[in-house]
A and B are shown apart, each in its own frame.
Chain A
């Protein structure tokens, strides 16, 4: 098992990839996953986070097998 990290829209373009796979860490959080997946960039302030396709905060725990998504503010409708 591992953690799937997904990026969407402008963030995906800026990072040049739509997905990363990480080994699960001890006491991982969404913000911790960002720090490991994108070590060269601070997590943007207005970023939205989803864990297993539900909105979550940066301090939400992440477990082995979870899908963590990061994306910019939404602009549908």
Chain B
């Protein structure tokens, strides 16, 4: 299992390929992946940049707890969470969650669980810079 925070842009697909190449071939039959990228709009406004604040130490620990909980609930070969922090621009990846299992149901469900738990509980906060240069803290997650 792996949890990582990235202060600089990262390529989720390279990370995923490198990680999977180190897993024992033949042990899993399913890999479910979610990648979240930054939009250039939110709540009807143009968004030109974003800063992601976190709580160093607690954020990593909390993500590790989420992975451990997923492994208790589903028969998983492995899990991966990668998340950006710091200054982000539209189009850049923010988050990657992935789950490997023998079969697709556990992989799909665990991947969704990692993402939903992260959104609702992991200490990250987004501050947006709008098209006119104004900044605002994002007050809540969008549904689904």
Chain A residues at the B interface, C-beta cutoff of 8 Å: 6, 8-10, 13, 48, 50, 53-55, 69, 71-77
| A76 nearest CB neighbor, chain B only | B124
Within the assembled complex, what's the spacing in Å between the Cα atoms of A77 and B118? 7
Chain B residues at the A interface, C-beta cutoff of 8 Å: 36, 52-55, 57-58, 61-62, 83, 94-95, 115, 118-127, 137-141
Within the assembled complex, what's the spacing in Å between the Cα atoms of A59 and B31? 42
Are B140 and A73 closer than 8 Å at their CB atoms? yes
Are A53 and B57 closer than 8 Å at their CB atoms? yes
**Between-chain CB contacts (< 8 Å), 17 pairs:** A8-B53, A9-B53, A9-B137, A50-B55, A69-B55, A69-B58, A71-B123, A71-B125, A74-B119, A74-B122, A74-B123, A74-B124, A75-B126, A75-B139, A76-B119, A77-B83, A77-B141
Are A9 and B122 closer than 8 Å at their CB atoms? no
- Given the known inter-chain contacts A9-B125, A9-B127, A10-B137, please indicate yes or no for A77 contacting B55, CB distance below 8 A: no
Residues from chain A with a CB closer than 8 A to the CB of B55 are 6, 8, 50, 53, 69, 71
Residues from chain A with a CB closer than 8 A to the CB of B122 are 74, 76-77
